[in-house]
Amino acid sequence: MASVDSTGSSISSRLRSGDLLHAGLAVTLLLGVWCVGGLEVSTGKVSFLRAMNGSTVLLPCTYSSCIGIKNLYFRWDYNDNGTMIKLCDAVIPVEGIEPKVNVEHSRVEFVGTSKGNNISILLWNITFDDEGEYVCFARNPKEKNRNHSAIYTLIVVDQLKEADNTLTVIIVSVLGGVIGLVIIVMVIKALVVHFLLKDDEKNKECLVSSSGNDNTENGLSGAKADNKTTPKA
């Protein structure tokens, strides 16, 4: 019996261990699904910019990680016909610690902050030679050196084209005209109704006064007739 109890206890212990293992795997899978994105960098919803020659532009980039960062390495490069030219790079030790940025371009300024997961840069006094693709790259050792990059395209022009608002002006003018016409119609209708009501009131007054006069005349003639037919005492 002791051996049976021992065997049963051993089997029960194994079952519990198996349940714990399955539960652990399930939690791991759930965490894996939740963190499936891992490290990501983004240059925003619009990944290009059209700017005037001689202006200063912001090249935006932010990073995110579901498990946090440690010694996050980031870099900005300019794609010069297939040759990647480094503009700046740095390492962020942990979240909230500002990095010491190594800038390798005279017109580049780092304006990001680790407190906002921001690694954006400014490019001063752009020229037509600055047109092209800018690559924001990051690598997170905390995620087994997982890395990610995003491309931001800069288009340099002589002058920015003014938006053609002709269609908008036409639509607004038509709507304004229609609204004005409706208001005029409503005003005319209100005036017509007002004058018609006044005419009705005058007609009613005329009918009442005419009816009163008729009754008065009929009463007087009746009285005269009665006086004539009354016999003398």
First vs last C-alpha separation in the chain: 151
pTM of the model: 0.57
Q: What pLDDT, on a 0 to 100 scale, did the predictor assign at position 11?
A: 47
Q: What pLDDT, on a 0 to 100 scale, did the predictor assign at position 213?
A: 57
pLDDT in tens, 100-156: 999 999 999 999 999 999 999 999 999 999 999 999 999 999 999 999 999 999 999
Judged by average pLDDT, the poorest of 7-11, 43-47, 203-207 is 7-11
For the domain spanning 40-157, the CATH number is 2.60.40.10
The Cα 62–Cα 148 span in angstroms is 11
Q: For residue 185, is it left (φ>0), alpha (ψ between -120 and 50) or beta?
A: alpha
Mean pLDDT across 81-93: 96
Q: In the chain, count of helices (H) and strands (E)?
A: 2, 11
The Cα 72–Cα 96 span in angstroms is 12
Tokens of 204: 């009613």
Q: What pLDDT, on a 0 to 100 scale, did the predictor assign at position 30?
A: 43
Q: What pLDDT, on a 0 to 100 scale, did the predictor assign at position 56?
A: 97
In this predicted model, which residue has the larger pLDDT, 46 or 7? 46
Q: What pLDDT, on a 0 to 100 scale, did the predictor assign at position 223?
A: 46
Percent of the chain with pLDDT over 70: 67
205, pLDDT greater than 90: no
For the chain, the average pLDDT equals: 80
In this predicted model, which residue has the larger pLDDT, 4 or 156? 156
Of 74, 61, 66, 76, nearest in space to 39 by CA = 66
1, pLDDT greater than 90: no
What are the CA-CA distances from residue 82 to residues 39, 114, 121 (Å)? 25, 30, 21
Q: Where are the domains of the chain?
A: 40-157, 163-205
The Cα 164–Cα 35 span in angstroms is 45
Q: What pLDDT, on a 0 to 100 scale, did the predictor assign at position 55?
A: 96
pLDDT in tens, 11-53: 455 545 555 545 454 444 444 444 556 899 999 999 999 999 9
The neighbour count for residue 65, using CB atoms within 10 Å, is: 21
Cβ burial 138-176 (10 Å sphere, 16+ → b, else e): bbbeebeeeebbbebebebeeeeeeeeeeeeeeeeeeee
Confidence band, pLDDT 50/70/90 cuts, at residue 3: very low
For every residue of 108-172, DSSP letters joined together read: EEE--BGGGTB--EEE-S--GGG-EEEEEEEEEGGGTTEEEEEEEEEEEESSPPPP--HHHHHHH
Q: What pLDDT, on a 0 to 100 scale, did the predictor assign at position 32?
A: 46
Q: Which amino acid is at 166?
A: T
